[in-house]
Amino acid sequence: MALFKTRSAAVYGIDAHPIDVEVDMFSSGSARDSVMVGMPDTAVRESRERIKSALINSGFGYPNKQITINLAPANIRKEGAGFDLPVALGILGAMGVVRGLERHILVGELSLDGTIRPVRGALSIAVCAREEGIANLILPAENAAEAAVVEGVAVYGMRHLAEVVALLTRPEEFAPATPNGAGHEAEPAAVPDFRDVRGQTMAKRALEVAAAGSHNVLLIGPPGSGKTMLARRLAGILPPLTFPEAIETTKVHSVAGQLGSNTGLLRERPFRAPHHTISDAGLIGGGAGVPRPGEVSLAHNGVLFLDEFPEFPRDVLEMLRQPLEDGSVTIARSSMTLRFPSRFMLVSAMNPCRCGFWGDATRECRCTPGQIQQYLGKISGPLLDRIDIHVEVPAVPYQELRGNSTGECSAEISARVQRARSVQQARGYYNSRIPARMIRKLCALDDAGERTLEMAVRRMGLSARAHDRILKVARTIADLGGLEGVLAKHVAEAVQYRSLDRNYWS
């Protein structure tokens, strides 16, 4: 009887947890009597045939003995093919081929010829190795650049099972991957420039304020007025991710399998634009087995753009309320409850009615009042309250459309946004996330500002949540102007961004 232990990790949510892989080999019995225990899913149970072929085709052979494989702790469900490599090394250890794996975490899927395939969640697994005090991480070569950004762990990217055995028997011949040498950072996507947008001065200003304070935005206007064009240029004025933000954002994309091969940290803020036919699990997260992150989590620290806002199913839209309020989404299943981060900027765009021309000065609306009310009614009041800025995007006049004048480029707007955000970072949080206990201190008003806000709340019938969001937007406008105090003109502009929900929904 030979018992050998290796270590691996399993990803739940965006965090990885250590898994002990125990392989026990018995002289009595045959390979047909081998079993795997520890709540493995189908992919894990099927690994026995992959591992057997990989060992034989790599030249190590396969013992004709009974093998019992235990994945501990036994009360946690094991999912995916990433346990192939540690189980294969456990069998080799029981055969006496390798030894001394106490300071290694192994993860990887095996092909029948012994090639190691990439896995999800490599960055989370590297963080887990560091937290557990494990010095070495062996994983697929395609995941090495991603995992190598974690300091304190020697990351080895391997392409074949035989290469892993060589590393364990002759470690002096191998060097760990480095953040600069193992791969490259994700290539930044080309972002269109605000200079391309004709007219829409107010909408551009609203998006600048939104970017400066990380506020949610609703763009409403007729078809072809430039709502989508404006939204897709928002990413170009947002500052790059900070290192802690980059780590957390990359972990989410890694767990979801969204990172490309040999990709390191994400540096650009994500911009996600799902279609309105998306399911609730696709938007919020979930799915069979271990839940996966949805679009709200893939947009973490970035932008979630929902075009044709009322076309999304209402029950799906209502699920946005928790992530918008809490910055996270909790998915409960019978076997586990997982939390995914989802602190994003919501940018939504919609027509004022089904045909799109209600209130348009040049084209006649074909919708009845009942149809208009039904269309707008898909956006509930509580959801609207969580959107800080509502801005109208009218059709662009012909003179502006054909004129030669161009507006500011994205770089100029981005410079102002970054200055405003640096002020907020010194306070400890962006303005959209100012806790309730700090609003009175950070958004203190003078007498003129108090009168302006009181008049707006009384006349527009605003909720307490809308009151707080007006103050936060006013604080952002003051930051853009480089002013310490919030003045009446800042409150007035912030109130203006709340007026459209009363014009359209009242």
Residues 31 and 139 placed together within one structural domain of the fold: yes
Given 173, 207, 227, the domain boundary residue is 173
Which one-letter DSSP state was computed for residue 445? B
Please give the span between the terminal C-alpha atoms of the chain, in angstroms, as a whole number.
78
Distance between alpha carbon 272 and the CA centroid of its chain, in Å? 9
Residues 123 and 165 placed together within one structural domain of the fold: yes
Residues 233 and 321 placed together within one structural domain of the fold: yes
**CATH no. for residue 45?**
3.30.230.10
Would residue 461 count as lying in a domain?
no
Q: Can you tell me whether residue 270 is helix, strand or coil?
A: coil
Would residue 265 count as lying in a domain?
yes
Would residue 475 count as lying in a domain?
no
CA proximity to 149, closest of 117, 116, 182: 182
Given 433, 450, 477, the domain boundary residue is 433
111 neighbors 150 (Cβ within 8 angstroms) = no
Structural domain count, the chain: 2
> Could you tell me the pTM of the whole model?
0.86
383 Cβ neighbours under 8 A, 6+ residues apart: 317, 318, 320, 321, 324
Q: What is the pLDDT along the chain (506 residues), one digit of tens a residue?
A: 478 999 999 998 899 999 999 999 887 766 676 788 888 888 788 888 899 999 999 999 998 888 999 999 988 888 888 999 999 999 999 998 998 788 999 999 999 999 999 999 999 999 999 999 999 999 999 999 999 999 999 999 999 999 999 999 998 999 999 875 444 454 555 678 888 888 888 999 999 999 999 999 999 999 988 899 999 999 889 999 989 999 999 999 999 888 877 777 888 899 999 999 999 889 998 877 778 899 999 999 999 999 999 999 998 999 999 899 899 998 887 767 889 999 999 999 999 888 888 878 788 888 998 898 888 888 888 888 889 999 999 888 877 777 777 778 889 999 999 999 999 999 988 999 999 899 989 999 989 999 999 998 888 888 888 899 999 999 999 999 999 899 999 999 999 998 776 666 65
Residues 201 and 305 placed together within one structural domain of the fold: yes
Which one-letter DSSP state was computed for residue 29? S
Given 143, 173, 203, the domain boundary residue is 173
Residues 75 and 159 placed together within one structural domain of the fold: yes
Residues 356 and 212 placed together within one structural domain of the fold: yes
Would residue 460 count as lying in a domain?
no
Residues 101 and 246 placed together within one structural domain of the fold: no
Is the bond into 293 cis (omega within 30 degrees of 0)? no
Would residue 348 count as lying in a domain?
yes
Would residue 28 count as lying in a domain?
yes
* Domain around 276: 194-433
Q: Can you tell me whether residue 181 is helix, strand or coil?
A: coil
Residues 151 and 244 placed together within one structural domain of the fold: no
Residues 149 and 229 placed together within one structural domain of the fold: no
Partners of 124 in beta bridges = none
Token pair listed for 284: 């919020």
Residues 261 and 383 placed together within one structural domain of the fold: yes
Residues 231 and 162 placed together within one structural domain of the fold: no
Would residue 463 count as lying in a domain?
no
Would residue 199 count as lying in a domain?
yes
Residues 157 and 247 placed together within one structural domain of the fold: no
Task: Read off the amino acid at residue 370.
Answer: G
106 neighbors 84 (Cβ within 8 angstroms) = no
